[in-house]
Structure 1
Amino acid sequence: MCNTPTGHSRQIDPRRELAGAAPAAVQVLDVLRFLAGQRGPVAAAVIARDLQLPRSSVYQHLRALQHLGYVVHLREERRYALGIAAFELSSGYLRQEPLARIGAHLLASLVDRLGENAHLAVLHGRDVLYLVEERAPHRPALVTDVGVRLPSHLTASGRAMLAMLPEAQLRALFPDDASLAERGERGPHTVSELRSVLDEVRRLGYGFEDGEVTEGIASVAVAVAERSGWPEAAVTVSFPSDAIPPARRPALATRIREFSDELARRLGAGPQSAPD
Structure 2
Amino acid sequence: MASDPAPDKPAEASGGIQSLDAALRVLLAMARLDGPVALSELARECDMPVSKVHRYLASFLHAGLAKQAGRSGKYDLGATAIEMGLAALHRHDFVNWISEELPALALDTGMTALLCVWGNSGATIVRWERAPSFVITSLGLGTTLPLLTSATGRAFLGYLPEAVVGGEMKRELRLLKARPSVWPELTPDLKGVRALAGQVREEGIARVDGRFIPGLVAVAAPVLDWQEQAVAVVTLIGTDPAAIEPDAPGIAALRAFAARHSLSTDPAPRPSGAPE
1:57 is aligned to: none
State how 1:224-243 maps to structure 2 within 5 Å. Answer: 224-243=223-242
Q: CA contact under 8 A between 1:133 and 1:144: conserved in structure 2?
A: no
Q: Of 15, 20, 25, which residue of structure 1 is paired with 2:78?
A: 20
- In 1: Cα distance, 2:132 partner to 2:81 partner: 51
2-structure distance, mates of 1:181, 1:133 = 32
| Residue 244 (structure 1) shift | 2.4
Q: How many pairs were matched up?
A: 200
Q: Which is worse superposed, 16-25 or 191-200? A: 16-25
Q: What does the per-residue CA deviation read over 1:135-188, in whole Å, with 9 as the maximum and x for residues that have no partner? A: 112231333311111222221111112101234545455347327698894344
For 1:275, the equivalent position in structure 2 comes to 270
Identical pairs, percent: 22
Shift in CA distance, 14/198, structure 1 to aligned 2, threshold 3 Å? closer
RMSD: 3.8
Specify the alignment match of 2:261 in structure 1.
Answer: 263
Q: 1:164-183 residue pairs with structure 2 within 5 A?
A: 164-171=159-166, 173-175=168-170, 177-178=173-174
Higher RCO (Cα < 8 Å, 6 or more apart): 2
What is the DSSP-based 3-state SS (H/G/I as helix, E as strand, rest coil) of the residue aligned with 2:260? helix
Larger Rg computed on CA atoms = 2
Pair 1:186-2:186 in alignment: no
Query: What is the one-letter code of the residue matched to 2:218?
Result: S
Shift of 1:242: 3.3
**Kept after mapping to 2: 8 A contact 1:106/1:263:** no
CA distance in 2, matches of 1:116, 1:183: 31
Q: Gapped runs of 5+ residues in structure 1?
A: 34-88
- Structure 1's 181 and 161: CA in aligned 2 closer, same or farther, altered over 3 A? farther
Tell me the equivalent position of 1:104: 99
> Residue 4 of structure 2 aligns with which residue?
none
- Is the partner of 1:221 in helix, strand or coil? strand
Amino acid at match of 1:178: R
Give the Å deviation of 1:22.
Answer: 3.8
TM-score, reference length from structure 2 = 0.59
Question: Structure 2: which 5+ residue stretches go unaligned?
Answer: 1-21, 36-64, 67-76, 272-276
Query: Structure 2 CA distance, aligned partners of 1:237 and 1:123?
Result: 17
**Whole-angstrom CA distance in 2 between matches of 1:253 and 1:206:** 9
C-alpha offsets along residues 225-250 of structure 1, whole Å, 9 cap, x if unaligned? 1112221001111111435263534x
